[in-house]
Structure formats: C-alpha cells, structure tokens
A and B are shown apart, each in its own frame.
Chain A
Amino acid sequence: MRGRGCEARDAGHTRGALYHRFKDNEPLVLAVLELVDQTWSHEVRPLVDRERDPVAALNALARGHAVFCRQDLARVAMALRLDFGAQDLPVGRRLEQAADSLVERCTRLIEAGRRMGKIPAGPPARTVAMAFIGATEGAVIVGQPPHDEALAARAAAGVLGLDHERSERQSDRKASHASVPQRTRSGQARRSG
C-alpha cells in the first residue's frame, strides 16, 4: 500500500474496475489496509530505522519491502492502489496517505545520501524515491522467491545510480537479516538464517 500517489491520478488512472468489486465492503477493505500498514511498520520499519547509513537504510528498505510484498495481503493493497476508482473515497485517501509516507521516508534518505556524497546527484529526490518504490514493487510482483528479494534490491540500487554490490557492502547485512521474517506468498512468516 505504498508508492504511487496523486501524480498517477493526474495521468488519468481513474478506472475503478477493481475497486468496484469491493465497494460494498469498504469497512472490510479499510481494515485490511490498516492491517497491511501495521504489519509493514512491525516488519520493515525496524530494519530501516536501525541503519545509520542512508544507502544501507535504502537497501534494507528495498529488501524488507520486497519480502513484505510477497504476502497476498500486500498484493491486494498494491493492486488496489493501481485502481484509482477509490481516489475520493476513504479507501483512496488511506492508500494515498500510506504511499506518501513511504515516498517521504525514501526521499529523506536519498537527500541524506546525496549530502554525504554517497548517492550521486540526479533527478529530484522525490522523483527518484517514487521510481525506487515502483521498481522494487514491480520486480517483486512478477518475481519468484528466493530471487525476487535480491532482484528488487538490485533494481532499487540501479534507480539510485549505485552499483548494487557496493550498496550491499555498505549494508550491515548481519544486523539487517538476523531477524528478517522471510515471507512466503501466502504470508506465512519464517525466520531466515
């Protein structure tokens, strides 16, 4: 439930085809989105917050978000976000709020990385952040475990203009992965390592 914000609406994605299937169950959809948000905050945010280096934090975010997106629940939220029929309804507002929050987090990390000279200059940080999330989610949504996580991280590093191997080295992978719950597509958690 992260990534695309109001910019996509401007491109005319006001289809509503998918939302149409759920419109009689709005409270249920909102509850599902709330659960997706809480799960993300519990499983992915700590991995990002523990990293002091912005590049390592972005790498942890890409990997953690990729694993998180394997869950069916997260996939429903991603599909709903592509379907902007709900844009002026509570579901649409909820989706936009979550998307903006993640883009903001990424933008701050990219700006910090650029200030430290670790991320090369380029397009506006917010634009890069949106592509970062889009590429990560896109790689995962069509990908297959276990390669999806690494390929999503590679896509994310590419968007930042970084060498993937280098950004992996900057990550404290031991710390990051000791407690990453490895999600299967059905959402069952198992510990890595």
Chain B
Amino acid sequence: MHVRNYHARVPSTATGPASGRRRQADRSARSRGALLEATARGLSHYGYGNLNLERVASEAGYTRGALYHQFRDKEDLALAVLEWVNENWMREVGEPAKEEPDPVAELIALARGHAVFCRRDVARVVMALRVEFSGQDHPVGRAIERISEAGVKRVARLIHKGRRDGSVPPGPPARTVAFAFWGALEGAVITLPGQAPHDELLAARAVAGVLGLGPDAVPS
C-alpha cells in the first residue's frame, strides 16, 4: 500500500554523485510521504482550522523546518494531502473498478472499494474537510469540489450507460441519482467505522437501492 511504499528503504550499493542524488531524492520522497500521512491523520482528527503544523512534523518524525522545506504553508500541505489521497483512491478503487464488465458491476465495485478505502482514517480526510469547508470559497474547498465533481460525473456516465442497456431502471435525472449515490455511500460508511466486513456490504446495498436495483444486485 501507499504508506508502506513511502517508507520503503531502497537498498543501493552504487556510489558516486548519481547515487548520492538518488539517495537524496529517496530521502525527500520518504519525508514527504511521512508528512502527508501525518497531515492526513491530523486533518481527520482535528480539522484544518485546528491543525498544528509543529505537531504534524513531530508525529512524522521531522522538524517544523523540514516541513516548511517541502510545503509553503498549511494550505499548500492540505492541497498536497488531497491530491495524495485522491491518487491513492484512483489506484486502489477507481482504476480497479474500470475492469468490471458492465456499468452495474462497476458501480457496485466503486461502492465496495470506497467502503474498504475509507476504513483507514487518512482516507476520511476528504469527508472531514468537506464538512469544514462547506459553503466557503477557499482553495481547499475548491479542490474538494473538483474531486467530488469528477466522482459525480463518472457515476452519472455509468448510470446513463446502464439505462441505455437496460441494466439500470429509469428514474430521476442521472446526475441527481449520482449525487445521492455518493451521499448514501459516504453516509453509510461514516456511520460504520470498525464494522468490517459489514460496512462494505451495507455500502453496496445502499447504492444499489439508490440506483433502483433489487437486492440481487449485491450478493452477500
């Protein structure tokens, strides 16, 4: 997983200026990964407003100076965390779901994958920041909007496709259903921390319900 990758030691027996630069790049990537992870955990626990950068640096095992060497300020750090979490989401949930053979299977795979992804508290940072920045015009809020919009568009496209091939029943506008899809999914997941494996099943059932599919769409 991404966290392990960031901390992986890269064995190297090479010497000379090139290997020195590589070691420095490795160190830099490791410290960036550790700082992003500590920030994500801090944002999930304390929110953006109460986030203490000194504490974040210390939890990551670095100094405040090392943090500012990599990130301009708190906003820069929060935006980097969102990008990091989103990249991980795409790798672990978004991309694998594309392998599914049909729109309904892809939608259910998204729900199941998202529920599993959200078991880590660092993954909940997007939900936490969305609540905090709701209704505010702020770069972090706008970044969350962009992530959410991409998710809504993808689900709406799949609903259209499913309605065309008859696997998703007609109903309210696809975009409206897509919003409800994400809302019901995150609503179910956020109420069920520590409830694996039920969280995955119930999240999938919630979205199957929103899509107008019967219970057979989600085998237990």
Contact = CB atoms under 8 A, between A and B. Distances in A.
B171 to A, nearest CB: 8
Q: Which label, helix, strand, loop or mixed, suits the secondary structure of the A interface?
A: helix
A122 B204 CA distance: 14
B195 interface: yes
A90 interface: no
A175 to B, nearest CB: 23
A16 B211 CA distance: 34
Interface string A85-124: 1000000000000000000000000000000000010111
Q: Which label, helix, strand, loop or mixed, suits the secondary structure of the B interface?
A: helix
Interface string B179-190: 110111111111
Q: Which of A127, A134, A158, A164 has the most CB of B within 10 A?
A: A158
B96 interface: no
A82 B180 contact: no
Interface stretch (A2-10, A33-41, A44-52, A176-184): A2-10
B121 A151 contact: no
Contacts of B134: 79
Interface of A: 3-4, 7-8, 10-18, 20, 79, 82-83, 85, 120, 122-124, 127-128, 130-131, 133-144, 147-148, 150-152, 154-164
Interface of B: 41, 44-50, 121, 124, 127-128, 131-132, 134, 172-173, 176-177, 179-180, 182-195, 198-199, 201-203, 205-215, 218, 220
19 contacts: A8-B193, A10-B194, A11-B194, A12-B45, A16-B46, A82-B131, A130-B191, A131-B198, A131-B203, A133-B191, A135-B185, A136-B187, A138-B186, A142-B183, A150-B172, A151-B176, A152-B184, A159-B205, A161-B215
